[in-house]
Amino acid sequence: MALVPEPFRIRDFRTFWLARLAGTIAQMAMVIVIGWQVYDIARETMSIRDAAFQLGLIGLVQFVPLFVLTPLSGWTADRLDRRRFGLDQRRLGRFGHGRRITWHGGGSPLAAGR
């Protein structure tokens, strides 16, 4: 039996795996920090019960899109042409970016010093 599993012998897979691991850890850290900050701010003006409720609402708001969109994503992946779907997503992203540029008056708000 090899010391290193077969997929990890491939350099590109190792890089991909480490990037996914780092992204997952960062995402989980962000969830914890957001909850901590919400609870900390809420405790300044609310009781423990109300602050805990606010924290629960944040958790719910973070979970509901995943709960709702997962079955929809599965249905989409099974029934639609992936190439067409990918092209449509790129077009939608370009449209959103174009709207953002229009909204900010033709440039980045950071570049314009706003």
Are the CB atoms for 51 and 43 separated by under 8 Å?
yes
Q: Which long-range contacts (CB under 8 A, 24 or more apart) does 89-98 make?
A: none
Our count of domains for the chain comes to 2
Residue 21's pLDDT band (cuts 50, 70, 90): very high
28-69 per-position pLDDT tens digit: 999 899 889 988 998 999 999 998 998 899 889 988 998 999
Please choose, from the candidates 67, 63, 66, 40, the residue with its C-alpha nearest in 3D space to the C-alpha of residue 51. Answer: 40
84-114 per-position pLDDT tens digit: 888 888 888 888 777 766 766 655 555 555 4
Tokens of 94: 């370009």
How far apart CA 12 and CA 15 sit, in angstroms, is 5
85 and 67 both lie in a single domain: no
Domain boundaries, position 111: 80-114
Are the CB atoms for 9 and 15 separated by under 8 Å?
no
- Whether residue 1 is contained in a domain is answered as no
64 and 113 both lie in a single domain: no
